[in-house]
Structure 1
């Protein structure tokens, strides 16, 4: 329970939790915080040994690595191992998520990754290291003398985000949409929208919030707003607010954006699955994206003239 639900060790001292367990079994003797911590540490050690034995059976492995930032702005290095087991099933095991307080230089990254590789005994089994296209990540791969690959999903994300950020009119529309979302997500008046959804026979869905660093959050925000445009417009017309709702013309722009972004979102989702070898999908996905976007552009030109884009 502590591991799966991310509960603190102090849960065993909470009055309500103790009363609940006591109702189930009055004879149960609660461990204190320290014995519980030792129990979790023992389970971790056992799980790690089982994972290490599984990895050591593999003939070859590939690694993915990325830098993560906690809500407290602490940096962590995550390294994950991918391989095929004896039954040719794709397995994924997290080798480590380590606190990384030092500077994110290639030398420091290479040293941390080398230590994880040695700890798991896979130095001569690593066939490829996949990271973002950041210079320090690429240089770290060279220092480790490993074949390096750039994450195609990350590359697509950077490409689409850069394109979105360069469209001035779309920036204004995104700002307007964010204000509408914030008005409903941070206020009890959102209930009005949910009531209207029920009256229209629609599921009660919350609006999605855009996250600055992830372009697909823009897609998800637009997708949800467009799907809920009727109850949203009805709710805003009945509220006292200085937030201006999107017009029908602006929703038409949103619809067009969704059509352009949808193939990229589907490609990202497909590349993010863990149970299939994603490298084998790259060429077909790139061909499909090229074909789909080309068809969309040709269709718009034929309908609206050569000035359309």
Structure 2
């Protein structure tokens, strides 16, 4: 007996309108379009509903009832299908779900229960829908960026689970509503060696693709030498990532504090023990419950992030009684931390806390952060100086001293022009944020000079009508005008040519004399209401206040990239990865 060409488990009515022309292909009998066949009828049913709605039983029934009621059943059903399609695409890109989720039995059953009329797309169709969404989102982002007057760019490198390198580039600007905005320009597959020249070429290509090359105000990167040289080769101002800079300061200070290094080493062993032993983990939970200690897990230190050192020590200090009791009740050769260790940890945490808070605040997105670098560094220095005298523990005192010295050497931020001007242009800080008033006055002079340059750039010859009005002879004046010709010409010249420096000085001083905003207020909202009051400074505020203080936006993209390119999706193509990350960031 001959085998049926169509699998026996398929009993859908759609086979009345399709022929199976190969194991992986079907052909519509109505319009002759060929579709991929993957053991289910989803793509065929979707095709019939989209192209030939009159053939579907549900549609026919809906049409009949809708016609009787004077409605439009087909349109409503198609509209519902489109809404759910969009929701599915959003779920894929926002939650980093693989395309094959639409083939998972549990997910299909769940969707069927929610809405039996919804036809899930095939994996291939879903990918096409995501690609279409990408093109729409990219077009929208291009329109936004065309209106931006200046942009700052962050860049960073990342390696996927399959050991493929990517260059991430994000763009930051102030939009036409005086709000901070950002766009992920791309996460490009980087197959070349990570030289400054290759990075430069990739960056230039990305910026030209978006039409942004002439708008780049500065490039924010980590302190890697190839990134710094890349900015130099591009002739673009480079700003270091200040979260990375603070990380280097603290790591260096920790290395120069040997007693604390020993405590950290023993702390890591304790954390590893409780994380790797089920029995130890259960015992710690039991002791926490008995002592009514917060049931928090211990946190492990990571070499590349000093913040993890702070969090590990803080959690060990919080759980010191529970950890000591648990270790004492389990046979182990792990040496516990003793009272003297915890005394050192306690004061070291006080010394490190300002750095942790500073890093967290500077790394925040969707708020003005570049203007905070100078005041935050200044406040950290103030905190260290005020704590130094009251420290009782020798280890904490040495750590504090190391931090003060290294911070002063590596973070002389008040001399960095773009940071100084952004701080001045932030009405919460102005000149009061500077530790040195001489640096503050230098910044005021630079701001005034840039305003004057703006005036000179905007100055133009008087219009024809104005020139005619000024030079039109007055017949009644007669020969008297000739007498005053020299003086009139000099007065006319002063009226036509403004004094840029004087005008700039007046505007800057008027702004500086205004009351300060409170720290919780929005500086961009302030400038939105001062566009006509301070037109020169308003223009410069849009140029300087959009700069992020760190390259963390790129790092967060890569954190999401790690979710997308997980082991379940390790075969994801680089182009698809970039598409999903772009939508995840820019939707």
Q: TM-score, normalised by structure 1?
A: 0.92
Q: Deviations over 1:209-242 (max 9, x none)?
A: 1111111111111111111222222222222322
Secondary structure at 1:243's aligned position in 2?
Answer: coil
2:142 corresponds in structure 1 to: 52
Q: Does the Cα contact within 8 Å between 2:344 and 2:393 map onto a contact in 1?
A: no
- Cα deviation per residue 1:76-129 (whole Å; 9 max; x = unaligned)? 211111111122211122111112121111111111111111111112111111
Deviation by residue 1:224-278 (Cα, 9 ceiling, x = unmatched): 1111222222222222322222112111121122111111111111110112222
- What is the SS of the residue equivalent to 2:360? helix
1:86 aligns with 2:86: no
State yes or no: 1:38 paired with 2:103.
Answer: no
- Counterpart in the other structure of 1:254: 345
Q: Select which of 253, 258, 263 maps to 1:173.
A: 263
Alignment partner of 1:196 is 2:309: no
Instruction: Give 2:167's match in structure 1, choosing from 77, 85, 100.
Output: 77
- Determine the C-alpha separation between the residues in 2 that align with 1:198 and 1:62: 50
CA contact (8 A) 1:92 1:274 kept: no
Aligned equivalents of 1:304, 1:67: Cα separation in 2: 41
Secondary structure in 2 aligned to 1:233?
helix
CA contact (8 A) 1:62 1:129 kept: yes
Give 1:13's aligned residue.
Answer: 103
Alignment correspondent of 2:207: 117
Distance (whole Å) between structure 2 residues aligned to residue 253 and residue 72 of structure 1: 42
The whole-number CA distance in structure 1 between the counterparts of 2:277 and 2:94 is: 31
Give 1:73 shift. 3.5
For residue 61 of structure 1, what is the aligned residue in structure 2?
151
Is residue 275 from structure 1 mapped to residue 346 from structure 2 by the alignment?
A: no
The normalised TM-score by structure 2 is: 0.50
Residue range with higher mean Cα deviation, 234-243 or 224-233: 234-243
RMSD: 2.0
| 1:219 counterpart residue number | 310
- 1:304, CA displacement in angstroms? 7.1
Per the TM alignment, residue 308 of structure 1 is displaced from its structure 2 partner at its CA by 5.0
Moved more, 203-212 or 191-200: 191-200
Task: Determine helix, strand or coil for the equivalent of 2:92.
Answer: coil
Equivalent position to 1:285, from 361, 365, 376: 376
Structure number with higher relative contact order (C-alpha < 8 Å, ≥ 6 residues apart): 2
Matched, 1:210 2:301: yes
How far apart, CA to CA, are the structure 1 residues paired with 2:265 and 2:393? Answer: 27
Q: 2:300 & 2:160 partners in 1: Cα distance?
A: 19
For 1:198 and 1:43, the matched residues in 2 are separated by 50
Residues 173, 308 of structure 1: alpha-carbon distance in 2 compared, 3 angstrom cutoff: closer
1:55 offset after TM fit, Å? Answer: 1.7
Contact kept, 8 Å, 1:181 with 1:209, in 2: the verdict is: yes
Change (3 A) 1:203 1:52: farther
Mean alpha-carbon deviation: is it higher for 11-20 or for 211-220? 11-20
Q: SS where residue 34 of structure 1 aligns?
A: helix
What is the distance in 2 between the residues matched to 1:281 and 1:31? 48
- 1:2: which partner in 2? 92
Matched ranges for 1:100-115 at <5 A: 100-115=190-205
Consecutive aligned runs of 4 or more in structure 1 exceeding 6 Å deviation: none
Quote the residue 2:226 is aligned against.
136
Q: Label 1:199 to 1:87 Cα distance change in 2 as closer, same or farther (>3 A).
A: farther
Is 1:264 the counterpart of 2:372? The answer is: no
1:239 maps to what in 2? 330
For this pair of structures, how many residues does the alignment match?
306
Structure with greater proportional helix content: 2
Aligned-partner Cα distance in 2 for 1:271–1:72: 32
> Using the alignment, how far apart are the partners of 2:174 and 2:185 within structure 1?
16
Residue 25 of structure 1 deviates from its aligned partner by 2.8
